[in-house]
Structure 1
């Protein structure tokens, strides 16, 4: 049975995240577990996620999830806007809630850092050559 869609296709925040992700070399999008997922050969970003609180899943639908280096994850984990997503958190992923005052340059940097952690050396070199 397929997962239900867990996002609004008209969400302007999704459109901004999508534009940042798909601007990276050979990046593509697919729906995985009901959410937009951005990848090359490996996933580097998700739009939306959830956390498990007292056995109940709490949704963070207007957020993005990335896998930057461990130091960045530890620093972000201290911030109230960030969370360790269910299933992915123990593997080094971090979620960041989006708000009206979102710093989009920081979002771009986090997405790029996650891309660099997951993409092949050839794709990272292609990114650096831009």
Structure 2
């Protein structure tokens, strides 16, 4: 069993609160303060979960520089109180950064649910063949 450290537990909490504030900021018509607070908490939580060195390595790999620029540029735009443009830029960077994780997430969600049409749809998104079991 993999042991989770106290810093990682704190990081999960920070990331969860960051996602909550981001969602709440979008629901309240792009409130720039909530979005900025959510961005800071999300990035701090990520650093707590995987560590500062791995976080910096993740964002500043050569093939991810464009995606990181868009993501962190969107965070800066939100902090400068341009929330709609900042969230659009940040969302584009997020999709570019994490596009390699999407097939794994869709495959996991497809195996998690046992709804016939939904599981076949999610497995087709993950690139796997739909199972009849």
Confirm or deny a common fold (TM above 0.5): no
Which protein is richer in strand relative to its size?
1
The higher relative CO (CA closer than 8 Å, separation ≥ 6) is in 1
Which protein is richer in helix relative to its size?
2
In terms of Rg, which structure is larger? 2
Please give the TM-score of this superposition, normalised by the length of structure 2: 0.31
